[in-house]
Amino acid sequence: MPTLSLLLQQFIDLSVVLTGFDETELLLTGVGQEYFDTLVRGAGQTNADGLLIAAQSAGPNEQAIERAIWDDDRFGPMARSIVIMWYVGNWHPLSVDWHAAFAPPSHSPLEGHVISANAYREGLVWPNMGTHPRGVKPAGFGMWRAAPEMPVIE
């Protein structure tokens, strides 16, 4: 099995904490590199690197992640955009105010968009709802005659 680049591995590690899905589930989507590249285009390499460093420093502790990332003016919006990417396959643009405060002057904001057909198809929203994207990832004959099984939340 090929090894991931260090930056991609750090991005996947952070995504595990942000999404609640494990590393294998995220890697099996096949969109990790595409999402990391989108983050870099949307926030800039320096900001993406800073987010990964903050996540590494915080470790897997949820309260530490909350303080270091979710509550941070620079990293919080980036984390929210990452979660949206993983769940629905869209890039949620960072605000004009965020760009004014944190983006390098030469960085052009990336507008919101569907990242790719594969990103839509592999969105985490589908397994989270116990279903699949209709028309692109069929689950078999007659699948839609029964309601999806709802996961048990404890």
For residue range 11-36, list pLDDT tens digits in order.
999 999 999 999 999 999 999 999 99
User: What predicted TM-score, i.e. pTM, was given to this entire model?
Assistant: 0.85
CA distance 92 to 78: 9
Position 59 scores a pLDDT of 81
Position 1 scores a pLDDT of 41
For residue range 122-131, list pLDDT tens digits in order.
999 988 888 7
Structure tokens belonging to residue 53: 């460093």
- Cα distances from 124 to residues 9, 37, 61, 113, 127, in angstroms, run 19, 18, 22, 17, 6
Residue 91: enclosing H or E segment and its boundaries? strand 90-91
